[in-house]
Amino acid sequence: MNDSTKWLFAFEEGDGKDKKLLGGKGANLCEMTQIGLNVPPGFVISTEACLAYLDTADRSLPDGVMEQVREQMAALEQKTGKGFGDPERPLLVSVRSGSAMSMPGMMDTILNLGLNTETLQGEIRATGDARFGYDAYRRFIQLFGKVALGVPDELFDKEFEAVKHAAEVKQDVDLSAADLKEISTRFLKVVEEYTGKPFPEDPMTQLEIAVKAVFNSWMGKRAVDYRRQFNITPDMANGTAVNVVTMVFGNRGDDSATGVGFTRNPGDGENKLFGEYLINAQGEDVVAGIRTPKPLDRLKVEMPQMAEELAELRSKLEAHYCEVQDFEFTIERGVLYCLQTRNGKMNAQAMVRTSVEMEKEGLISKERALLRIDPMSLEQMLFPRLDPGAKAEAVAQGLPASPGAASGVAVFDADRAEQLGRDLGQKVILVREETKPEDIHGFFASQGILTSRGGKTSHAAVVARGMGKPCVAGAEGISVDVSRREALVGDTSFKEGDTITIDGTSGRVYLGAIPTVEPDFTPELSTLLAWADEIARLKVLANADTPDDARSARKYGAVGIGLARTERMFNAVDRLPVVIEMIVAETPEQRQAALDALLPLQRKDFRELFEVMAPHPVTIRLLDPPIHEFLPDEHQLEQDIGDLQALARSTRGMTALAGAMGLLHTPDETRRDLDVLRRQVDAILVEEAIVKKEAMLKKVRALHETNPMLGHRGVRLGISFPEIYQMQIRAILEAAAECAKAGIEVQPQIKVPQVCTVEELKRVKTYVDDIHAQVQAQYGHPVNYKFGTMVEVVRACMRAESLAEEAEFFSFGTNDLTQATFSFSREDAENKFLPLYNQSHILQDNPFEVLDVKGVGKLMQLAVEWGRAMRPDLHVGICGEHGGHPASIDFCDGAGLDYVSCSGPRVPVARLAAAHAALKRRG
């Protein structure tokens, strides 16, 4: 770069699309000028000038900058008919920073630059308003002093208050011209004392100092911290531009005003101008909250002509930007100026509504309507959230483990939750140190779950997410005392029955009931998602284990169930004892009896799922987890047995003693004999209980595994205990037959977990073939089904071609597949070393949250390719938590999957993300 480098751009010439060069504010000022909106004349000093300046050893402006500034100022003088430093008709400007991304922490705007003792008098003569002149002057001295020279605000405030006090006025507006003159004199002295130099009088010097100050602020601590915090890299924004804009005054009397507007309501998206204004005020007064601004609706009454022009400005902005705009305006003596515009930030509801309405108005295409919405933001609309208007202090902070907000009375164990929640119909929050599988009935009865220990993958978190209930996990500030039914939080506490509120979206915990707003699946959201479905190639299915899950999944727009986990059904309170019987059975007959009891229950489960989802597919995974998960805890059993034995000993001792003494038969002795008898009966019962518990303990020990997740589970169980899988297969096919007979269209899909070789699939397929033939004969009706496999083991990927001989579909279980690919156990990784790995950039993301495209994704791609080589119409999907994650969905689209399956509330997110992926691929 050299002398001929163009550092400056007049608003008439800057390229409005080049935000990198001109900053967001500058680019839009150029753009607005060029489409004929009334913007005060001005120019932009580019971000390149900023970077070149910061590069100099002595922080001096690069060659040519000040020359070009002088040229541009001369042009401004021409356009405005005023002179910079001219005492007769002084030109005043604002100096405003602005980088490619809006970023707090950079320099504040300086207004009224160009004022000095002489031009001030000129301004007063020109306007005939001394009060206005001194007001502008004192504002300039303070802003320039603070922003460009670093004078602390307090020094100015002190003087300001002193004069206000002396003048005995309460409000700034009541200060007279003389008061304001006094204030400016004192301010000049403040600056001189603080900097050791007189306040710069020469306007061009003022401008140069201001430009440098803006450039310096790019490397200021606040700005640097902000960029680090929000990961703003140089390719997103590098350097700040400086905007020099001719001053216009909203404080020139009652025909002047200043305000901010949104072309549509950012709260609900309503297609109506939204905003606030103040009559006779300067821009900063609106945000400063010194006076209460009025809603823009009022302008129609106060300044009808201006209201009309503002309406016109609004439609021009939208017609040009095709996006909701957030803009600043000023009215000077009946003339409307636009001072800034940018895309409006809105909540999800407003984004969705404006998308649909702008499409209907022909402003944007469907594609644009979809693309302007961040899929993840839809979650806001799908869970109850805390009323944004409610003011409340959180008492504890945990992990946001499952989104949504809920209030209820605290209870400290699952049984109590059930009593109060299910039986008495109260709203309860289950508060535990951590939860266990046996707490599951408490989950069903609760509005939300709060734990003081455990991470985002703790039992509480996973189960709550599955159920779509809010959960705050690992709120370490809370210590739970179950025995006293109380929890301590800092120096306060809450007891059972006290109302608390949890926000699983933020992880915060509150005392008392904080109002929440219910989620609303608005008609606009339905429309938008219907467009998404038209465009998306991937289908979106849901993971759903119960008919209730399935119903809500349908509501969210799932077109099938990609994963129904049968073990969740086994866990239900009424089933667990039967399941345990099945597991501990000593003989095939005993086991069969238990299975016979389970069959009708499972058949009913499946039938309901089919009915709710008809005519969409329902994919049922045969039993997956290691069987000991259903059994009592080993240590608990040992302890129980110990307790019982102690009891038995004391009972036996008493009995013997009483027996020895019990030869005399007085009435008393008779009573004692009866007692003895009773004790003997008790003793027998205790002995029996001991025997039972010991048998269970033996079983539990026999089933103990060193590493259950890699142990006897999934299809391995199905092969060593064929009866279990056979029962489930029969239940599926019979349920399907019942439905088919009743004229309900069903598509059952039987999915085998943990498969690593086709031999396993072949084995299970023989069960299916046999039972299928039996069921068809029994019901006298054809039953269709599909047979497929989970792909969640590395070897399954490697052997995909061979698996596809038997499997009609593949379903990637990316949770297990990620564990297997990294050889990380998820819990250990997330609780121990993953955070460190992420911090030190050994791994960029948590692979359990963001699909590891390079490793796990590669395996998936190979599996798809090889599987389809064998079976071209192989149906492929993903059913891990990743299936609801936009970046992972994008990957799945690229890898040619047919569907993603995720938890119900994630379905809308996934539908939009699938459309984004398809649009991206179309280019």
- Residues lying near ligand ADP in the complex (CB under 6 A) are found at 40, 94, 96, 109, 111, 245-248, 283-284, 328, 330, 339-340
Q: How far apart are CA 227 and CA 238, in angstroms?
A: 10
| 56 annotated as a binding-site residue | no
Q: How far apart are CA 251 and CA 469, in angstroms?
A: 53
Provide, rounded to whole angstroms, the least separation between the CB of residue 425 and ligand ADP: 52
Provide, rounded to whole angstroms, the least separation between the CB of residue 389 and Mg ion: 25
Strand, coil or helix: what is 621? strand
Kindly tell me which of 172 and 682 has the beta carbon lying closer to ligand ADP. Answer: 172
| 195 annotated as a binding-site residue | no
Kindly tell me which of 129 and 328 has the beta carbon lying closer to ligand ADP. Answer: 328
- Please identify which residue in 46, 258, 340, 602 interacts with Mg ion, judged by CB under 5 A: 340
Q: What is the DSSP string of 671-711?
A: HHHHHHHHHHHHHHHHHHHHHHHHHHHHHHHHH--SSGGGS
Kindly tell me which of 323 and 503 has the beta carbon lying closer to Mg ion. Answer: 323
Kindly tell me which of 204 and 709 has the beta carbon lying closer to Mg ion. Answer: 709
Please say whether the beta carbons of 247 and 203 come within 8 A. Answer: no
Q: Residue 880 binds which entry of ligand ADP, Mg ion, none, with Cβ cut-offs from 5 to 8 Å by kind?
A: none
Provide, rounded to whole angstroms, the least separation between the CB of residue 283 and ligand ADP: 2
My answer on whether omega of the bond before 200 falls inside 30° of 0, hence cis, is: no
Please say whether the beta carbons of 915 and 368 come within 8 A. Answer: no
- Kindly identify the residues of this chain, within the stretch 814-873, that bind Mg ion according to CB under 5 A: 816
Of 41-49, 66-74, 807-815, 902-910: span binding Mg ion (CB under 5 A): 807-815
* Angular region, 283: left φ>0, alpha ψ -120 to 50, beta rest: alpha
Kindly tell me which of 338 and 514 has the beta carbon lying closer to ligand ADP. Answer: 338
Provide, rounded to whole angstroms, the least separation between the CB of residue 246 and ligand ADP: 6
| 813 annotated as a binding-site residue | yes
| 465 annotated as a binding-site residue | no
Q: Residue 284 binds which entry of ligand ADP, Mg ion, none, with Cβ cut-offs from 5 to 8 Å by kind?
A: ligand ADP
Q: How far apart are CA 411 and CA 430, in angstroms?
A: 5
Find the Cα–Cα–Cα–Cα dihedral 290, 292, 297, 298, rounded to 10°.
-100
Q: Residue 816 binds which entry of ligand ADP, Mg ion, none, with Cβ cut-offs from 5 to 8 Å by kind?
A: Mg ion
User: How many residues form the binding site for Mg ion (CB under 5 A)?
Assistant: 4
Q: How far apart are CA 335 and CA 883, in angstroms?
A: 55
Residue that is written with structure tokens 């080993």 in the block: 634
Residue nearest to ligand ADP as judged by C-beta position: 283
Provide, rounded to whole angstroms, the least separation between the CB of residue 329 and ligand ADP: 8
| 687 annotated as a binding-site residue | no
Q: Residue 813 binds which entry of Mg ion, ligand ADP, none, with Cβ cut-offs from 5 to 8 Å by kind?
A: Mg ion
Angle at 750 between CA 891 and CA 900, to 5 degrees: 20
> Containing H/E element for 499?
strand 499-503
Find the Cα–Cα–Cα–Cα dihedral 116, 119, 120, 123, rounded to 10°.
-150
Q: How far apart are CA 723 and CA 721, in angstroms?
A: 5
Of 260-268, 357-365, 759-767, 785-793: span binding Mg ion (CB under 5 A): 785-793
Of 38-46, 148-156, 360-368, 811-819: span binding Mg ion (CB under 5 A): 811-819
* Three-class SS of 62-127: CCCHHHHHHHHHHHHHHHHCCECCCCCCECCEEEEEEECCCCCCCCCCEEEECCCHHHHHHHHHHH
Q: How far apart are CA 523 and CA 526, in angstroms?
A: 5
Provide, rounded to whole angstroms, the least separation between the CB of residue 148 and Mg ion: 18
* Angular region, 434: left φ>0, alpha ψ -120 to 50, beta rest: beta
- Those residues with Cβ within 8 angstroms of residue 916's Cβ, 6 or more apart along the chain or in another chain: 370, 371, 375, 886, 890
| 792 annotated as a binding-site residue | yes
Task: Report how far Cα 787 is from the mean position of its chain's Cα atoms.
Answer: 36
Looking at the annotation, which residues are catalytic? 459, 879
Kindly tell me which of 108 and 367 has the beta carbon lying closer to ligand ADP. Answer: 108
Provide, rounded to whole angstroms, the least separation between the CB of residue 830 and Mg ion: 17
Kindly tell me which of 340 and 754 has the beta carbon lying closer to ligand ADP. Answer: 340
Provide, rounded to whole angstroms, the least separation between the CB of residue 282 and ligand ADP: 6
| 621 annotated as a binding-site residue | yes
Q: Residue 110 binds which entry of Mg ion, ligand ADP, none, with Cβ cut-offs from 5 to 8 Å by kind?
A: none
Kindly tell me which of 246 and 527 has the beta carbon lying closer to ligand ADP. Answer: 246
Q: Does 813 contact Mg ion by CB under 5 A?
A: yes
Please say whether the beta carbons of 608 and 653 come within 8 A. Answer: no
Q: How far is CA 897 from CA 811, 857, 861, in A?
A: 10, 12, 9
Q: Residue 339 binds which entry of Mg ion, ligand ADP, none, with Cβ cut-offs from 5 to 8 Å by kind?
A: ligand ADP
Point out the annotated binding site. Answer: 565, 621, 792, 813-816
Point out the annotated binding site for substrate. Answer: 565, 621, 792, 813-816
Question: What are the residues binding Mg ion (CB under 5 A)?
Answer: 340, 792, 813, 816
